[in-house]
């Protein structure tokens, strides 16, 4: 197979770095250029030193649309639309946007959650990559929503690593703030709730449950841990069977038979789920890497689907385990 001519726009941050780490080793991807306004002229390895020996590209601030078959957009939220207006790519170019701009499936974009939308993604030229918390929460709850079990309030808590806040320094991402500390932010109002509700309404047209989401800043660099619970009259065994059936064809989402921990998923494109019944509640845990399954890994999974490749191509990554 001829290699797919690919570019990354906005490749200097954490998600851009993860895209580079995956794509430089992807067997059918040819990275034509990597773009960054802030790092133009610098070697990629000056910004992402872990890529020494793997990448000899130099950041450019120029955008070339000619001959590009796939483009990953890692621009700040709100800037993708104007970028695409300024730089129109061929209608045959697969565009994968990692910002929030088109997650409402406007402008011809398909929401890129493979476990729900794989058939549409395979035919898509414009793919809106899901948010990190949105991925962990949707995968934790999608089987329950599809089965109609969420009829009242759904309680959700999620803890994210500091890389979820991006590379630019802020008070709440400094080591001195994060270390030995936890805090809540955007209580019940997190921006990812909008795309979550959209997916749940597609899975179940009668969905109207209230999602009560408490997001936490964690004192670790990467990973997301989600805990959800809702009233449930069935048995734990019944619930686990429904979850396993729902994800039977999902190559990265696994329903475990035993307790899980976050490090099983960190540094991989996996979502690992555990289901239990306690005190009349169905309790579901999910663990992902916020930069991989929550961003760049899922973007490459969507790339693979859009080009008819095996979903796992370039994504056989090992967890850090300990």
Please give the positions annotated as active site.
132
Q: Which spans in the chain are helix H?
A: 14-23, 44-47, 80-86, 114-123, 132-146, 175-178, 192-203, 236-246, 296-306
Over the Cα atoms of the chain, what is R_g?
19
Instruction: Give the whole-angstrom CA distance, residue 263 versus residue 180.
Output: 18
Residue 233 DSSP one-character state: -
Taking CA atoms, 19 is separated from 14, 108, 120, 299, 303, in Å, by: 9, 24, 23, 8, 11
Number of other residues whose CB lies within 10 A of the CB of residue 225: 21
Instruction: Give the whole-angstrom CA distance, residue 201 versus residue 293.
Output: 22
| Strand boundaries in the chain, DSSP class E | 4-9, 29-35, 70-73, 94-97, 110-111, 126-128, 153-160, 183-184, 210-217, 224-231, 253-255, 271-278, 281-288
Number of other residues whose CB lies within 10 A of the CB of residue 189: 9
């Amino acid at each position: 197979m001829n290699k797919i001519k690919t570019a990354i726009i906005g490749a200097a941050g954490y998600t851009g770095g993860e895209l580079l780490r995956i794509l430089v080793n992807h067997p059918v991807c040819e990275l034509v250029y990597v773009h960054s306004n802030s790092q133009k002229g610098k070697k990629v390895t000056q910004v992402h030193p872990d890529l020494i020996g793997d990448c000899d590209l130099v950041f450019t601030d120029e955008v070339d649309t000619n001959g590009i078959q796939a483009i990953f957009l890692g621009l700040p939220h709100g800037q993708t639309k104007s970028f695409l207006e300024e730089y129109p790519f061929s209608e045959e170019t697969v565009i994968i946007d990692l910002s929030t701009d088109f997650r409402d499936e406007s402008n011809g974009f398909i929401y890129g959650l493979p476990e729900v939308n794989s058939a549409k993604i395979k035919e898509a030229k414009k793919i809106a990559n899901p948010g990190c918390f949105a991925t962990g929460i949707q995968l934790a709850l999608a089987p329950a929503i599809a089965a109609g079990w969420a009829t009242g309030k759904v309680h959700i808590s999620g803890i994210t690593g500091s890389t979820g806040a991006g590379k630019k320094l802020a008070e709440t991402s400094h080591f001195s703030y994060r270390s030995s500390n936890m805090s809540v932010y955007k209580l019940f109002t997190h921006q990812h709730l909008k795309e979550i509700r959209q997916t749940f309404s597609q899975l179940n047209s009668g969905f109207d449950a209230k999602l009560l989401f408490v997001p936490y800043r964690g004192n670790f660099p990467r990973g997301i841990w989600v805990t959800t619970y809702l009233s449930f009259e069935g048995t734990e065994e019944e619930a686990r069977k429904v979850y396993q059936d729902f994800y039977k064809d999902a190559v990265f989402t696994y329903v475990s038979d035993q307790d899980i921990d976050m490090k099983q998923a960190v540094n991989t494109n996996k979502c690992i789920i555990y289901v239990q019944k306690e005190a009349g509640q169905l309790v579901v845990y999910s663990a992902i890497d916020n930069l991989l399954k929550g961003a760049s890994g899922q973007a490459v999974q969507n790339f693979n689907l859009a080009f008819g490749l095996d979903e796992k191509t370039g994504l056989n990554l090992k967890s850090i385990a300990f």
